[in-house]
Amino acid sequence: CIFMALRGPLSRILRSKLGKCSQQTRAESVAVLGAPFCRGQKRGGVEQGPKVIRDAGLVERLSSLDYSVHDFGDLNFPPVEKDEPYMGVKFPRTVGAANKMLSGAVSRAVGAGHRLVLLGGDHSLAIGSVSGHARQCPDLCLIWVDAHADINTPMCSPSGNLHGQPVAFMLKELQDKMPSIPGFSWMKPFLSSRDLVYVGLRDVDPGEHLILKNLGIQYFTMRDIDRLGIQRVMEVALDHLLGRYPSLSE
Ligand SMILES: NC(=[NH2+])NCCC[C@H](N)C(=O)O
């Protein structure tokens, strides 16, 4: 998902789309937040992401691009005892509690005026990172750049892994398909299907495909990118999202 200010050709596209409102596309202040977490899927390793990415020089690189960088360190997720699967969903309480904490931390950082760079961690963390933004930005829209749609509901998930389900928790239109999962009572859906565009899909499950079609969600596959080019894809994606608000799309 893209939360950072867009740079280069993409930022030019965005600027031309936004016209007068574009003065703010450059983030002044970037918050870096680590979420060392892997329980959204079955393998260990991704919890080392924040350390590895920092060691590779992220903060220095961002600073050299003239951002003022505030590193908020890593969240510390307390272990959850006895976290049995629920309706096939694995580690529900652990993932729910981590995302609740993350959502609060993201909301505070965004509310303090920072542009957030979240270092994961597996993709179940999108529940907390996107919901934290939504708490501060009621008109939030989401460009999900990924091979996976990650929109399985617990009922149609082939794996039970929550990293394949975060978008299903966000969408208002899927609310009646979502059972109450332990650990997620804090989470209310906040996004409409028209607020979402996928870019780069390559590996979509049958249940996910049905959801994309039924809800009319805008998406671009890797083949679309090969065919149209990423510039055109981003233009259409942004047109779609900005078209939600006619006053901005002129
Ligand atoms: N963020 C990811 N790596 N997602 C992979 C999801 C794989 C598969 N669609 C599932 O639901 O389990």
Which ligand 1 atom is the nearest neighbour of the CA of 152?
Answer: 11
118 alpha carbon – ligand 1 mean position (Å): 19
Q: What is the ipTM of this complex?
A: 0.97
Using 50, 70 and 90 to split pLDDT, how confident is the model at 9? low
CA dihedral 60, 64, 66, 70 (to 10 degrees): 0
Residue 63: which CATH number? 3.40.800.10
2 alpha carbon – ligand 1 mean position (Å): 18
Asked whether residue 180 is assigned to any structural domain, the reply reads: yes
Q: Which domain holds residue 218?
A: 8-244
The pLDDT assigned to 8 comes to 55
- Cα–Cα distance between 11 and 134 in angstroms, integer? 22
pLDDT tens for each residue of 26-77: 558 999 999 999 999 999 999 999 999 999 999 999 999 999 999 999 999 9
70 alpha carbon – ligand 1 mean position (Å): 31
Q: What angle (nearest 5°) sits at the alpha carbon of residue 116, between those of residues 113 and 122? A: 155
Report which protein residue has its CA nearest ligand 1's atom 11.
164
Instruction: Tally the domains of the chain.
Output: 1
Decide which of 168 and 11 is more confident. 168
Is the pLDDT at 3 greater than 60? The verdict is no
Percent of the chain with pLDDT over 70: 87
Asked whether residue 43 is assigned to any structural domain, the reply reads: yes
Which ligand 1 atom is the nearest neighbour of the CA of 157?
Answer: 11
What would the DSSP string read from start to end of 74-141? E------SS---BTTBSSHHHHHHHHHHHHHHHHHHHHTTPEEEEE-S-GGGHHHHHHHHHHH-TT--
Asked whether residue 2 is assigned to any structural domain, the reply reads: no
Asked whether residue 249 is assigned to any structural domain, the reply reads: no
Asked whether residue 1 is assigned to any structural domain, the reply reads: no
pLDDT tens for each residue of 144-185: 999 999 999 999 999 999 999 999 999 999 999 999 999 999
